Structure 1
């Protein structure tokens, strides 16, 4: 799904309550809980944590391309992990102080969907680990 095919609410359209209803209709309950409410799927349960196919990982909400299988690695965490995003401008970061920790939350820059968290314990060449919920992604095989 391309970003232009998005059914995402725009800033000039529905009220926040109406936009929330649109997201609930567009997404599965798990996708909504994770991507729109900032939840986390259980480790080793998501559709893509162990996916080895070549392709791209897109935002489940708006279709923006976020990650390539070329940057995916097995972190042992049980979530899809990437050492780089396709375009740094496609992802924003927010300080997350929930659960008694200080972490860096990652979101889709286009629609603000919660993707997961960014850590500095990844492999070369970046040393980064984008730890992403499968429920926040759609996979597009090459």
Structure 2
């Protein structure tokens, strides 16, 4: 799947129609080797395209896919009676933290990380909640 700006579409269409397997393979080899290609058409195509993959979390295509699924479910079952919205900016939201831990780690590793995070959070909260003890502890060591 790809997205391209409307004004660039005729040029992109012309380039895509001119691409053949040999030309694509040559550009692929160059891009893998140096990150650049000498094929001007492929370079222009890469500059014109906004390419997104479904494997990338929160990519444009992933969000559009989820949006289409939601609309399809609404068409099939009607408007939902309950709608949940997660605030991804909330640093203390337990659901968001759990989702983030599991997205980037294996399940066992995610649980260990969440346990250590919880302990760190509790220690920090305890230290912040009693600043007098923190000050007394710092004074006792000097």
The TM-score by the shorter chain falls in which range?
under 0.3
TM-score w.r.t. length of structure 2: 0.19
TM-score w.r.t. length of structure 1: 0.19
**Of Structure 1 and Structure 2, which has the larger fraction of its residues in helix?**
2
**Of Structure 1 and Structure 2, which has the larger fraction of its residues in strand?**
1
Whose radius of gyration is greater, 1 or 2? 2
Structure with larger RCO (C-alpha < 8 A, sep 6+): 1
